[in-house]
Amino acid sequence: MRRCKIKLCERPYYAKEMCQHHFDKDRRHGNPLFERELKKKLLCPVEGCTKNQFANGLCNRHNMQVHRTGGLEYQRLHDGKAQERNRARTAQWKKDNKETYNAYLASRKKRVKQATPKWADLNAIREFYYNCPEGYHVDHIIPLNGKEVSGLHCMENLQYLSAIENLRKSNKIP
């Protein structure tokens, strides 16, 4: 069996008296013994971070933080007052986009009306919403606007979920 012509290489012949590894290096770089220069590893410039740079001059963690939040001020923005800021921003958006918000409310109302069967006890549903504990949401077990199947707006399809669990669930079936 023919072997590669490069010294100390025991791989089998592929083309031009070289193995596939050295042939590809020769084809790409003009030298079958080409080796890339290793870049010096740079540390992330964020104060206190000891990880190597990954992309955009930051480590993976800080790069993803910038990607998700738009900046490195994540901790400052999450000082426990985010809920108040979000409420104010949402209220302002509702004022600035009345037509869009009204269209959303109308479509939601229509979707609930279509999903409410004639036999549903509306007084019991209203009472269920009224008795919702603080920090919880009323959730449809099978969502009214699901991707695979849509549920009904009736007592059997309602549950109390903590706000975080409900937002995680979105319109998915458990």
In contact, 3 and 21? CB cutoff 8 Å: no
Q: What angle do CA 112, 118, 120 make, to 5 degrees?
A: 75
- The contacts of residue 45 (CB under 8 Å, 6+ apart) are 57, 58
The whole-number pLDDT of residue 79 equals: 59
Tokens 């979105």, residue located: 170
pLDDT band (50, 70, 90) for residue 73: low
**Which tokens in the block code for residue 155?**
């007592």
Q: In terms of pTM, does the model score above 0.85?
A: no
Work out the pLDDT band at 77, boundaries 50, 70, 90. low
**Domain map of the chain by residue range?**
1-36, 41-76, 84-115, 116-174
**3 state DSSP class of 164:** helix
